[in-house]
Amino acid sequence: MPDSNSAPTPLHFNAFVMNTNSHIHHGQWRREDAHQTEFTDVDTWVNLAKILEAAKFDAMFFADVSGHYGDSDADYSVYLNEGLQIPSNDPTVLLGALAVVTENIGLATTSNVFQSHPFQFARQISTLDHISKGRIAWNIVTGMQDNGSRNYGMPRLTEHSERYRWADEYVDVTYKLWEGSWDEGAVINDRAGSRYSDPAKVHKIYHQGERYSVEGPHLPSPSPQRTPVLFQAGSSVSGRDFASRNAEAVFLGAPNPEVAKAQIEDTRARAVEAGRAPEDIKFFQGLSFIIGDTEEEAQRKLKEAEEFVSLDGYLAHAALVDPDGRVYPPETPLKDVQTNTRRGFTEWASKTITDREPLVADIAWRSNRSNRIVGTPEQIADQLEAWQAAGIDGVNVVNWVIPGSFQEFAEKVLPVLRDRGLAQREYTPGTLRQKLFGRDRLPATHPGARYRGAFAQVPATV
Ligand SMILES: Cc1cc2nc3c(=O)[nH]c(=O)nc-3n(C[C@H](O)[C@H](O)[C@H](O)COP(=O)(O)O)c2cc1C
């Protein structure tokens, strides 16, 4: 949190991506310079990782889903036509490849608490943290789609507060495995003494909870960070409460700096109540950029990008589809739409559009325009200063095309930000947590830290 008398604090920058064709800005994949169409080719990601690392981005942040959007029983062809998050490949697997072609950039994956057993997930993350030498982050999500839940044997998406209770137990199991199962110095690698690990320092965790029973010990030895850097993106009261206790970084999709400020202040106040320090959580706002050397050029590029907008894509992503799963025609009056997601849209439209009937198309354009900054690098830097003044610590840069959106941001905006002291010039050596917080491990005030030494009374010889 900068104060007016001190030198500016550099913002952090993550590249927000997904291992799919159409992630956020739907329709742009049809542009000639769009290489997200080649997302199944690992070279697309290797090439992007190298561009981002050369530009000193803090992390590559992969979103993910567990199923398709919309009603599970309805037609889902719109998602296939749009390439909208289906087909999509597993980001966690991809991080293994990216870890070996990079040295500094953080690698964040999204994993839903119902998509894998916490014992297996904790092992995968520890393995990746070893491979990457401590650069892994986990975006903890609880699921958004009925179809995703059905893919894992449930009839529908679990009820909201129950999803967060589930997440509470899930992270608890992983903290026990990452933080408590292996003491420091447990690996001795003593060739002469013929002892690889010290049995007195490796413990079973005997977790018994509502959903999981995990004996342990954790199979991997401690990785450089032990627990990966923890991201979370919920904005509801339960979401903020979960974040205030567990997250080290929160991903915001706030519509403007004022809303971001309120959300940041609320989450930080909750964190303090939970015994943590306000600066233990960093806030990243999602923003996309249209950059021109002049305002005219920026406006021209905006027009070009808008020509490729798929209204169907934005509407399908927002679940503005009829009961059969078909996207409403854009000129449909919003009042004629029947969907359980309509209420929020109607409220927004009645406040924003007062001179005519709000249409379904207005919602698609709202999604396209929200969190979008159009201008010269200097104008963009001015706006980022305003976001920083609202309390954000970093930006998740949302792309239009891969790798062009990131390349342009690196070439045009980052130099201006560096001149203003608002972007880092070099990486801090070490793990991702070291780079972001100046420490390799969770701080003592984090709930995961309470498991350090907690199982010491459980030696291997039981
Ligand atoms: C900016 C942003 C990015 C998100 N990315 C993902 C994602 O990649 N995968 C996912 O399953 N959920 C994602 N979510 C959904 C959240 O994890 C959460 O389920 C959703 O915001 C509803 O939670 P809430 O009711 O606490 O606000 C994202 C949410 C936001 C705001």
Asked if residue 240 is part of any domain, the answer here is yes
Say which residue the tokens 């964190």 belong to: 271
DSSP state at residue 193: T
Q: Is the ipTM of this complex over 0.85?
A: yes
β-strands 106-112, 207-208 pairing: unpaired
Cα–Cα distance list, 164 to 175, 190, 250, 457 (Å): 16, 44, 16, 31
**DSSP collapsed to 3 states, 241-287:** HHHHHHCCEEEECCCCHHHHHHHHHHHHHHHHHCCCCHHHCEEEEEE
- The CATH code of the domain that includes 264 is 3.20.20.30
Q: What's the pTM? A: 0.96
Token pair of 438 as six digits: 């100046």
Query: Is the bond preceding residue 217 a cis peptide, omega within 30 degrees?
Result: yes
What pLDDT score was predicted for residue 176? 98
What pLDDT score was predicted for residue 180? 98
- Phi first, then psi, for residue 16 (nearest 5°) are -90, 115
Mention every residue, 6+ apart, whose C-beta is less than 8 A from residue 351.
none
CB of residue 402 inside a 6 A radius of ligand 1: no
CB of residue 236 inside a 6 A radius of ligand 1: yes
Asked if residue 191 is part of any domain, the answer here is yes
What pLDDT score was predicted for residue 347? 79
Asked if residue 81 is part of any domain, the answer here is yes
Please give the Cα distance from 415 to 89 (Å, whole number).
33
Q: How many CA atoms lie within 13 A of 126 on its CB side?
A: 21
Token pair of 131 as six digits: 């491979």
CB of residue 239 inside a 6 A radius of ligand 1: yes
Asked if residue 380 is part of any domain, the answer here is yes
Helices (H), 58-200: 77-82, 91-101, 118-131, 146-150, 160-175
Mutate to test the pocket of ligand 1, among 139, 237, 252, 284 (most ligand atoms within 8 A of CB): 139
CB of residue 288 inside a 6 A radius of ligand 1: no
| 218 marked as part of a ligand binding site | no
What pLDDT score was predicted for residue 342? 61
Asked if residue 75 is part of any domain, the answer here is yes
Q: Number of structural domains, the chain?
A: 1
Nearest Cα residue to atom 29 of ligand 1:
233
Q: How many angstroms separate the alpha carbon of residue 142 from the centre of ligand 1?
A: 8
What pLDDT score was predicted for residue 348? 83
Q: How many angstroms separate the alpha carbon of residue 253 from the centre of ligand 1?
A: 9
| 72 marked as part of a ligand binding site | no
Nearest Cα residue to atom 5 of ligand 1:
63
β-strands 12-18, 249-252 pairing: unpaired
Nearest Cα residue to atom 3 of ligand 1:
233
Asked if residue 64 is part of any domain, the answer here is yes
Q: Counting atoms of ligand 1 from 1, which one is nearest the CA of 62?
A: 8
Asked if residue 350 is part of any domain, the answer here is no
Q: How many angstroms separate the alpha carbon of residue 65 from the centre of ligand 1?
A: 10
pLDDT per residue, tens digit, the chain (462 aa), is 555 568 899 999 999 999 999 999 999 999 999 999 999 999 999 999 999 999 999 999 999 999 999 889 999 999 999 999 999 999 999 999 999 999 999 999 999 999 999 999 999 999 999 999 999 999 999 998 999 999 999 999 999 999 999 999 999 999 999 999 999 999 999 999 999 999 999 999 999 999 999 999 999 999 999 999 999 998 889 999 999 999 999 999 999 999 999 999 999 999 999 999 999 999 999 999 999 999 999 999 999 999 999 999 999 999 888 889 899 999 999 988 876 656 678 778 888 899 999 999 999 999 999 999 999 999 999 999 999 999 999 999 999 999 999 999 999 999 999 999 999 999 999 999 999 999 999 999 999 999 999 998 866 765
Q: Counting atoms of ligand 1 from 1, which one is nearest the CA of 143?
A: 11
Please give the Cα distance from 189 to 185 (Å, whole number).
10
β-strands 187-190, 195-197 pairing: antiparallel
Q: What domain range is 75 assigned to?
A: 12-305+372-451
Asked if residue 346 is part of any domain, the answer here is no
Say which residue the tokens 């916490």 belong to: 118
Give DSSP secondary structure letters for 314-375. HHHHTT-B-TTSPBPPTTSBGGG---TTHHHHHHHHHHH--SS--BHHHHHHHHHHTTEEEE
Cα–Cα distance list, 238 to 154, 164, 190, 268 (Å): 22, 7, 48, 14
